[in-house]
């Protein structure tokens, strides 16, 4: 190969690489959640807002985020997101917003909301592809003057290009991003930015979130709690949850000098006993330099990981929203008549991934979705499921999600909810995990892992029982009221007729008849209550049965 | 509920009836005082509680009773309505007023309190309360000073006194061809049967046949009293037939079309109706005889060419009647079977095929003379 030939080959390779980022990006828009005109706009809002929330939390600032969406033309929008976060510098702004796949979030065993999507840099790219325009950024750190700049990405180098950089005379701490997009649509649907922000506000009661819609309508989701949630802890991966590729990658970056110390340092619950066990069963010496580990060798280790009984992973790194916070935010935003909140204890799926389920059931008030009037002019509500993964709302792929499946697997009638699908109910479910098992790269549906399904069902049944008691009590009360009115309506005529014939005082008769009605209703209520308790008993017996089945299933899976 | 013998029942005065209503109401009031769900009880009606009494040969009501409780969602309104009807009729009795069943409906109809609901939406609701009340205190509506729409005509040498109208005395022979329109209230305390100069009472189904017989001077020639029912006999008409028969010992002959409808008119006059089985003692005439039309008449008088085909409904009805215990005798079984076999019917007026006067001059006198009746 001549020198010229070499340089030509290098050129081709370089060109291929340069094109690849943009090409890859365009081709994989669907996978990343950007097709669909409504979905795309929601995803953009999600990326910016998530960044803002994460930045504020890390800097221990109570977030105040304002999102404005302006319609510039048909399917042409400008999205502005302003936060009061720590701000960016000239140096960090490029990496945050101008470099694709630059995130540090890969391979971190930590509960994080920004796991899905394309990142804010993806938005910069998307704006560029669809409008040819730069993304405007105004940011201030509180030290020195805030800066304003226009940002584009050089797809060939996958690098930020900064233009029109100026220092501003004003004082501003935080970040404002303004970008334009084409091929989007703003509507008021369940998958639209408004609903996304409503749910984000519910899961983040410490944040104040404002949306200014294209109609100039301003919607404020007020902060309900001032304290910032504790940061989740970064956890070492548990040996049961690691695959060969991840183990190989971790081996390359470790500081350990031997495979044995690498395994003990980098993985949770791996001790000398386990190392001795592994050494007995692998074909190579564990004193080997981990950086030199071969794929086959990594495979052998993972195989041993599967065999050995490790203690379950630590779960203390998980940070659920917490019952009190969920209660406060749902009370503020949904204003239900009844609310049942439950944060389950953390547990583990597939032996290696800690997770935790939070469930809330809200009934009445603004709970449930839809404000459609039916033929009789009565507002009809529908049951609503709010799904969250690490506090981030999941709006798409509803049907394929474990949360939806778990909700639908429950016989709500048993809990006294007669027409569940059309009840004014909001079911809030948050799955917290260092590793959310999504069904696909779109990261909008959770896979129905046996342990996750079990936890979901137990949480839902527990809250459901409490909600059911309230709902059936309320229904009984309504029925009682209707019956009372029905009987009462006839009393005056009866009393006056009897007075006419027998000269007994009408007022006396009325009082006695009313007393009769009330006593009867009281009796009926007591009977119904007894009936319901009987039903609930048989329901909890059934629950035990389900538990057994789940355990069996788990064992056969092993 | 009060059960009594026929004799005392017929002679009950308005005061006594009012007392019955008061007793019933006091019972209900006492239940209310004692914190017991007040209940109104009455006799159950309809086929399931109707029996044919082989001794008295009339339809009677069985012992089954039915209750309406106030504290029952399905009964509450009916309970209220019954109390309202009770009070209103009690009032009529006290004030010596009478009303039609349509009038009491309108008197009681109004909106309930602040609701959009009426005490009564339709007359059928108050009508059924009246029937309940009649059966509960074991009397007839006329004794409750209520009456249905009158229907029927009386003609012939019979003298009546209207005690509620200046004691007017009149003879039904002297009221022109139209005769006397039979009122719905025919209780002895209102209408007195003073005198009857006749050998029998002829009950006629159709007005047209009645008119024919009046024109032919049938009543005078044959010493007969004529009553036309105009289809199914109204309560007042049945009550009058019953009273003429029992008070004046006059035989009763019934003359209807020769079809299931006509035969059932006869059946109701003779043994009472299912709906008013409880009042058969007031209304039925078990000794009544059926004069025609019969299928035998068709043969005897050569009327084959003026018969008509039975309709599906006629056939069904005839089959049902064949099952009724009170049609279980040779005469009627043969008649019904013959009708079902030939599938024909014959109207009274078909006799005009012979001549207009044929019915008055030949058919009726011949049959009566020969006592050619069905039982």
Q: Cβ contacts of residue A63 below 8 Å, gap of 6+? A: A52, A53, A56, A57, A83, A84, A85, A204, A206, A207, A208, A209
- Kindly tell me if the per-residue pLDDT of B133 is higher than 90: yes
CA-nearest of B142, B285, B374, B43 to B51 is B43
* Architecture of domain B6-147 in this structure: Orthogonal Bundle (1.10)
Interface predicted TM-score (ipTM) = 0.75
Contact (CB, 8 A) for A310 and A274 = yes
Q: With 0-12 CB in 10 A as exposed, 13-18 as middle and 19+ as buried, what is A473?
A: middle
Query: Could B71 and A509 be called an inter-chain contact, meaning their C-beta atoms sit closer than 8 Å?
Result: no
- Nearest Cα residue in chain A from B116: A489
Query: Could B25 and A502 be called an inter-chain contact, meaning their C-beta atoms sit closer than 8 Å?
Result: yes
Query: Could A493 and B91 be called an inter-chain contact, meaning their C-beta atoms sit closer than 8 Å?
Result: no
Test the A interface: residue of B72, B73, B87 with most A CBs within 10 Å: B87
Size of interface A-B (CB pairs under 8 A): 70
Which is higher by pLDDT, B185 or A510? A510
C-alpha neighbours within 13 Å on the C-beta side of residue B82: 27
Give the CA diameter of chain A: 126
Smallest CA–CA distance, residue A480 to chain B, in Å, is 12
b/e for A116-139, b at 16 or more Cβ within 10 A? Answer: bbbbbbbbbbbbbbbbebbbbbbb
Residues of chain A in contact with residue B32, where contact means CB-CB under 8 angstroms, are 498, 509, 512-513, 516
Smallest CA–CA distance, residue B17 to chain A, in Å, is 13
Residues of chain A in contact with residue B22, where contact means CB-CB under 8 angstroms, are 501-502
Per-residue pLDDT of chain A (558 residues; tens, 9 = 90+): 445 555 555 555 555 454 555 566 666 665 555 567 888 898 899 889 988 998 898 889 999 999 999 999 999 999 999 999 999 888 888 877 877 655 444 445 566 655 444 678 888 888 888 898 999 999 999 888 999 999 998 877 778 889 999 999 988 999 999 999 998 888 877 788 999 999 999 999 999 999 999 999 999 999 988 888 887 777 788 888 888 888 888 888 888 899 999 999 888 889 999 999 999 999 999 999 999 999 999 999 999 998 898 888 877 888 899 999 999 999 988 899 999 999 998 888 887 788 999 999 999 888 888 765 666 666 678 899 999 998 889 988 888 999 999 999 998 888 878 788 888 899 999 999 988 888 876 678 899 999 999 999 999 999 988 888 888 888 788 888 888 999 999 999 999 999 999 989 999 999 999 999 999 988 887 887 787 777 667 766 665 565 555 555 555 554
Nearest by CB to residue B84, choosing from A487, A493, A513, is A493
> What is the H or E stretch that residue B297 is in?
helix B295-300
Contact (CB, 8 A) for A282 and A297 = yes
Query: Could B86 and A516 be called an inter-chain contact, meaning their C-beta atoms sit closer than 8 Å?
Result: no
Query: Could B112 and A501 be called an inter-chain contact, meaning their C-beta atoms sit closer than 8 Å?
Result: no
Nearest by CB to residue B32, choosing from A492, A501, A509, is A509
Query: Could B22 and A515 be called an inter-chain contact, meaning their C-beta atoms sit closer than 8 Å?
Result: no
Q: Is the dihedral of CA A109, A112, A116, A120 positive or negative?
A: negative
Query: Could B87 and A515 be called an inter-chain contact, meaning their C-beta atoms sit closer than 8 Å?
Result: no
Contact (CB, 8 A) for A461 and A541 = no
What pLDDT is recorded for position A94? 82
Residues of chain A in contact with residue B79, where contact means CB-CB under 8 angstroms, are 490, 494
- Nearest Cα residue in chain A from B71: A517
Residues of chain A in contact with residue B38, where contact means CB-CB under 8 angstroms, are 516
Smallest CA–CA distance, residue B14 to chain A, in Å, is 15
Smallest CA–CA distance, residue A502 to chain B, in Å, is 6
Rounded distance, CA A309 to CA A384, Å? 41
Nearest by CB to residue A504, choosing from B29, B90, B115, is B29
Q: Is B87 on the interface with A (CB under 8 A)?
A: yes
Rounded distance, CA A284 to CA A340, Å? 55
What pLDDT is recorded for position B77? 94
- Nearest Cα residue in chain A from B28: A498
A92 Cα distance to chain centroid: 28
Residues of chain B in contact with residue A486, where contact means CB-CB under 8 angstroms, are 73, 76
Query: Could A497 and B112 be called an inter-chain contact, meaning their C-beta atoms sit closer than 8 Å?
Result: no
- Kindly tell me if the per-residue pLDDT of B261 is higher than 50: yes
What pLDDT is recorded for position A122? 82
DSSP string, B265-292: HHHHHHH--STTGGGHHHH--TT-EEEE
Residues of chain B in contact with residue A500, where contact means CB-CB under 8 angstroms, are 87, 90-91
Query: Could A502 and B29 be called an inter-chain contact, meaning their C-beta atoms sit closer than 8 Å?
Result: yes
Test the A interface: residue of B83, B91, B117 with most A CBs within 10 Å: B83
Query: Could B80 and A494 be called an inter-chain contact, meaning their C-beta atoms sit closer than 8 Å?
Result: yes
DSSP string, B316-368: HHHHHHHHSGGG-SHHHHHHHHHHHHHTEEB-GGGGGGT-TTHIIIIIHHHHH
Using DSSP's 3-state secondary structure scheme, residue B189 falls into coil
Smallest CA–CA distance, residue B90 to chain A, in Å, is 7
Smallest CA–CA distance, residue A525 to chain B, in Å, is 15
Domain extents in chain B = 6-147, 153-370
Q: What is B153-370's CATH number? A: 3.40.1360.10
What pLDDT is recorded for position A21? 58
Residues of chain A in contact with residue B26, where contact means CB-CB under 8 angstroms, are 502
Query: Could A502 and B79 be called an inter-chain contact, meaning their C-beta atoms sit closer than 8 Å?
Result: no
Domains of chain A: 17-221 (3.30.565.10), 239-307 (1.10.8.50), 322-558 (3.30.230.10)
Q: Cβ contacts of residue A440 below 8 Å, gap of 6+? A: A31, A397
- Nearest Cα residue in chain B from A518: B71
The phi, psi pair for A255, rounded to 5°, reads: -95, -10
Contact (CB, 8 A) for B270 and B291 = no
Q: Which of B106, B200, B210, B253 is catalytic?
A: B106
Residues of chain A in contact with residue B87, where contact means CB-CB under 8 angstroms, are 496-498, 500-501
Rounded distance, CA A403 to CA A37, Å? 25
Query: Could B87 and A502 be called an inter-chain contact, meaning their C-beta atoms sit closer than 8 Å?
Result: no
What pLDDT is recorded for position A116? 46
Is B253 among the catalytic positions?
no
Query: Could B87 and A492 be called an inter-chain contact, meaning their C-beta atoms sit closer than 8 Å?
Result: no
Contact (CB, 8 A) for B109 and B44 = no
Q: With bands split at pLDDT 50, 70 and 90, how would you rate the model's confidence at B194?
A: very high
Task: Outline where DSSP puts E strands in A183-293.
Answer: 208-212, 218-221
Rounded distance, CA B289 to CA B323, Å? 20
Rounded distance, CA A289 to CA A255, Å? 10
Query: Could B113 and A497 be called an inter-chain contact, meaning their C-beta atoms sit closer than 8 Å?
Result: no
**In degrees, to the nearest 5, what angle opens at C-alpha B99 toward C-alphas B95 and B101?**
140
Rounded distance, CA B4 to CA B11, Å? 12
Q: Looking at residue B373, what DSSP letter applies?
A: -
B360 Cα distance to chain centroid: 27
Contact (CB, 8 A) for A117 and A33 = yes
Test the B interface: residue of A479, A480, A502 with most B CBs within 10 Å: A502
Residues of chain B in contact with residue A505, where contact means CB-CB under 8 angstroms, are none
Radius of gyration of chain A (CA): 30
What pLDDT is recorded for position A175? 94
């Amino acid at each position: 190969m001549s020198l010229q030939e070499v340089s030509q080959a290098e050129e081709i390779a370089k060109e291929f690489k340069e094109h690849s980022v943009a090409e890859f990006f365009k081709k994989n828009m669907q996978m990343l959640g950007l097709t669909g005109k409504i979905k795309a706009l929601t995803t953009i809002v999600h990326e910016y807002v998530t960044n803002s929330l994460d930045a504020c939390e890390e800097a221990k600032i109570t977030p105040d985020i304002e999102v404005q969406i302006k319609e510039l033309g048909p399917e042409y929008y400008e999205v502005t997101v302003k936060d009061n976060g720590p701000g960016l510098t000239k140096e960090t702004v490029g990496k945050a917003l101008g470099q694709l796949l630059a995130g540090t979030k890969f391979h971190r065993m930590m509960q994080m909301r920004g796991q899905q999507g394309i990142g804010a840099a993806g938005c910069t790219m998307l704006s560029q592809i669809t409008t040819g325009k730069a993304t405007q950024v105004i940011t201030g750190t509180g030290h020195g003057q805030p800066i304003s700049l226009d940002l584009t990405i050089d797809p060939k180098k996958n690098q930020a290009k900064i233009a029109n950089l100026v220092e501003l005379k004003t004082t501003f701490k935080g970040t404002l991003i303004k970008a334009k997009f084409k091929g989007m649509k703003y509507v008021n649907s369940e998958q639209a930015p408004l609903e996304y922000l409503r749910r984000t506000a519910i899961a983040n009661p410490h944040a104040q979130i404002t949306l200014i819609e294209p109609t100039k309508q301003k919607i404020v989701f007020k902060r309900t709690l001032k304290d910032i949630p504790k940061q989740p802890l970064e956890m070492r991966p548990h040996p049961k949850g690691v695959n060969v590729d991840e183990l190989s990658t971790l081996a390359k970056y470790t500081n350990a000098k031997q495979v044995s110390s690498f395994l003990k340092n980098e993985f949770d619950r791996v001790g000398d006993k386990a190392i001795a066990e592994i050494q007995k069963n692998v074909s190579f010496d564990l004193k080997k330099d981990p950086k030199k580990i071969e794929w086959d060798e990594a495979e052998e280790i993972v195989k041993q990981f599967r065999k050995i009984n490790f203690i379950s992973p630590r779960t203390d790194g998980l940070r659920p929203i917490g019952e009190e916070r969920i209660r406060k935010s749902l009370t503020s935003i949904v204003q239900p008549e009844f609310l049942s909140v439950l944060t389950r204890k953390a547990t583990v799926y597939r032996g290696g991934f800690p997770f935790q389920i939070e469930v809330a059931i809200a009934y009445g008030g603004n709970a449930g979705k839809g404000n459609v009037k039916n033929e009789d002019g009565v507002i009809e509500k529908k049951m609503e499921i709010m799904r969250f993964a690490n506090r981030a709302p999941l709006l798409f792929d509803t049907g394929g999600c474990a949360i939806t499946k778990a909700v639908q697997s429950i016989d709500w009638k048993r809990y006294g909810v007669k027409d569940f699908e059309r009840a004014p109910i909001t079911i809030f479910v948050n799955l917290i995990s260092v590793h959310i098992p999504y069904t696909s790269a779109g990261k909008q549906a959770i896979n129905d892992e046996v342990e996750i399904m079990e936890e979901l069902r137990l949480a839902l049944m527990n809250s459901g029982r409490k909600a059911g008691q309230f709902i059936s009590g309320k229904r009984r009360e309504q029925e009682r009221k209707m019956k009372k009115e029905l009987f009462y309506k006839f009393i005056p005529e009866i009393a006056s007729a009897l007075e006419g014939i027998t000269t007994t005082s009408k007022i006396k008769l009325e009082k006695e008849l009313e007393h009769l009605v009330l006593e009867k209703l009281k009796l009926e209520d007591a009977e119904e209550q007894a009936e319901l308790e009987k039903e609930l008993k048989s329901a909890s017996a059934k629950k035990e049965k389900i538990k057994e089945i789940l355990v069996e299933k788990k064992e056969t899976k092993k | 509920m009060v059960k009594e013998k026929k004799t005392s029942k017929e002679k009950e005065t308005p005061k006594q009836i009012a007392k019955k209503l008061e007793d019933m109401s006091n019972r209900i009031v006492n239940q209310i005082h004692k914190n017991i769900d007040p209940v109104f009880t009455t006799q159950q009606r309809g086929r399931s509680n109707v029996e044919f009494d082989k001794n008295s040969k009339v339809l009677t009501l069985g012992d089954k009773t039915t209750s309406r409780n106030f504290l029952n969602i399905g009964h509450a309104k009916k309970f209220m309505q019954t109390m309202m009807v009770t009070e209103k009729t009690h009032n009529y009795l006290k004030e010596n007023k009478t009303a039609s069943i349509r009038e009491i409906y309108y008197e009681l109809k109004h909106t309930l309190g602040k609701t959009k609901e009426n005490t009564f939406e339709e007359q059928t609701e108050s009508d059924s309360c009246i029937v309940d009340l009649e059966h509960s205190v074991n009397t007839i509506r006329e004794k409750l000073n209520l009456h249905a729409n009158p229907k029927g005509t009386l003609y012939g040498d019979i003298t009546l006194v209207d005690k509620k109208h200046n004691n007017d005395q009149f003879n039904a022979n002297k009221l022109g061809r139209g005769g006397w329109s039979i009122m719905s209230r025919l209780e002895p305390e209102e209408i007195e049967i003073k005198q009857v100069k006749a050998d029998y009472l002829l009950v006629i189904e159709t007005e047209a046949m009645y008119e024919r017989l009046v024109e032919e001077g049938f009543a005078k020639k044959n010493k007969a009293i004529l009553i036309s029912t105009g289809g199914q006999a109204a309560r007042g008409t049945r009550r009058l037939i019953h009273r003429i028969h029992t008070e004046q010992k006059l035989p009763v002959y019934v003359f209807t079309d020769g079809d299931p409808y006509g035969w059932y008119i006869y059946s109701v006059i003779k043994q009472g109706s299912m709906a008013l089985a409880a009042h058969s003692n007031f209304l039925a005439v078990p000794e009544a005889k059926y004069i025609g039309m019969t299928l035998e008449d068709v043969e005897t008088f050569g009327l084959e060419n003026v018969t008509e085909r039975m309709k599906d409904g006629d056939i069904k009805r005839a089959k049902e009647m064949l099952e009724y215990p009170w049609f279980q005798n040779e005469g009627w079984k043969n008649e019904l079977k013959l009708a079902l076999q030939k599938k024909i019917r014959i109207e009274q007026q078909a006799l005009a095929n012979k001549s207009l006067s044929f019915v008055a001059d030949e058919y009726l006198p011949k049959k009566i003379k020969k006592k050619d009746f069905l039982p």
